[in-house]
Amino acid sequence: MGKTPSAVFTDMAGSTARLVALEALCDFRKSGEPVTRILTTLFAQNRLSPRDCQLVRALVFGILRRQQYLDCIVDLFSRHPVTKMKPRTLIALRIGVYQLLFMDRIPPSAAVNETVQAFKAGRQPKWLVRFVNGVLRSISRERNSLPTPECMTVDGLSVPNHPAWLVKRWEKSYGRQRTQDICRINNELPPLTLRVNTGLLPRHQFAAMLEGIGRVEYGKFAETALCLPDFHGDVAGLPGYDRGCFVVQDEAAQLATCLLTMKKGGRYLDGCAGVGGKTTHLAALLPTDARLTAIEPEKRRYRLLGENLQRLQVTGVTTMNMDLAGFSATTGEKYDAILLDVPCSGTGVIRRRPDIRWNRREGDLPGYQRQQLQLLRTAASLVRKDGIIVYATCSLEPEENSEIIDTFLAEYTEFFIEDARRFLPSAAAHLVTAEGYFQPTPEQELDGFFAARLRRKAE
């Protein structure tokens, strides 16, 4: 059985960590809220050691990546099928099985006993506690002879740990083998990727600051990227965090920002700034006398945007807590270029956010599409002649990507596509499609992404 890099727990953390993981997964199943937000709330309510917090995260994210496989194992040992189990019971079994099969530094006895104690803390009936205990002990005895994920198939694919509707869509778009590769990489723990704040210091200087924390590798594609494949601790503890030397950002997002070229004295707009990953990147590249405005409507993200701008020592960026339509109605300015990193399904970043696969539905896509097209139409009203719109998503779905561009270009004939290859490092040229779209997929060892550079005709 393969082990995940998160298996670094040599001592017996108490059942409290398992209980918090249990509550987080139960809350996620009930609410569908992003699991990182759920964990933030639970960590604030429970005084856990940094080590226990690390264990909770490893359990929660690991289980979300291996959920279908874990259920298959439980089904082999339980007379009661998983489809008929109460959610809390099944989640407790997943927590125990994940430790037994994927966290080899946790003793099997601790994996079983502490998980049962966490389940018991929820005032479960004695017979149900005995059931969970019995199933976990049976699996523990046989753990070295169990089928591996690669040996178990669903519809001819090794257990993909993705919902069937999503797998079928990807097979249609990418073929069976590539879909299998995407699912496989999504189920692995991704390396930590940083974007160096080159407005403060060069990449090689920051790399030297990280000496002694494990392997530090230059990115394969982006000239501002560093990868830390062995680091799984608290990012805020890395050298230079408080000084704003870096931001966590995948290479795909770093490359997408590069499509928005800027010139001295220009006027630029980030129309969907979020927490500021791309905003701060644009600010680091901003030429002399150029101006950058960042728009973010959601209050929590807007607050984090401000915190990130402050931490990265970014100045000269105007921020507004409003949506793009409201901004468009109040501004009289036209922009040389607009970055539009639109809200989307996020199916390209499942390896970093494994909960996405379980809280999206195929029926969500038309709603995203309507919102994205409206944002693009609004951006078109704000860009000057000969100006640029960079439309971007972290989705793999054509409804949010090429279909949006096709519809937009049919309506707005004064715009045309510019080949993304012209604006990216040569190492990233193969990530651009024949149509000129920047479109990497996860099996290429970066996030799934889509970006199109649209130019408005000068006349």
d(C-alpha 431, C-alpha 438), whole Å: 6
87 to 29, 50, 83: CA distances (angstroms)? 8, 28, 9
The alpha carbon torsion through 70, 142, 99, 347 (nearest 10 deg) reads -20
Look at strands 383-393 and 335-341 and give their pairing: parallel
Provide DSSP, 208-235.
HHTTTSS--EE-SS-TTEEEETT--S-G
Which entry of 227, 258, 272, 394 is annotated as an active-site residue? 394
Check if the beta carbon of residue 429 is closer than 8 Å to that of residue 418: no
Sign of the torsion formed by the C-alpha atoms of 65, 68, 74 and 78: positive
Return the closest-CA partner of residue 338 out of 423, 454, 432, 417. 454
The amino acid present at 3, given as its one-letter code, is: K
Place of tokens 């109040």: 330
d(C-alpha 331, C-alpha 295), whole Å: 12
Place of tokens 């249990």: 22
Provide DSSP, 392-424.
EES---GGGTHHHHHHHHHH-TTEEEE-GGGGS
Structure tokens at 399: 């409804």
d(C-alpha 452, C-alpha 408), whole Å: 12
The H or E element spanning position 134 is: helix 126-142
SS3 20: helix
If you ran DSSP here, which 8-state letter would residue 347 be given? Answer: G
d(C-alpha 39, C-alpha 21), whole Å: 8
Place of tokens 């980030």: 270
53 is catalytic: no
Sign of the torsion formed by the C-alpha atoms of 339, 182, 423 and 220: positive
How far from chain centre, in Å, is Cα 404? Answer: 22
170-205: b or e for each residue (b if 16 or more CB lie within 10 Å)?
bbeebeeeebbbbbbbbbebbbbbbbbbbbbbebee
Return phi, psi of residue 320, to 5°. -140, 130
The residues that are catalytic are 394
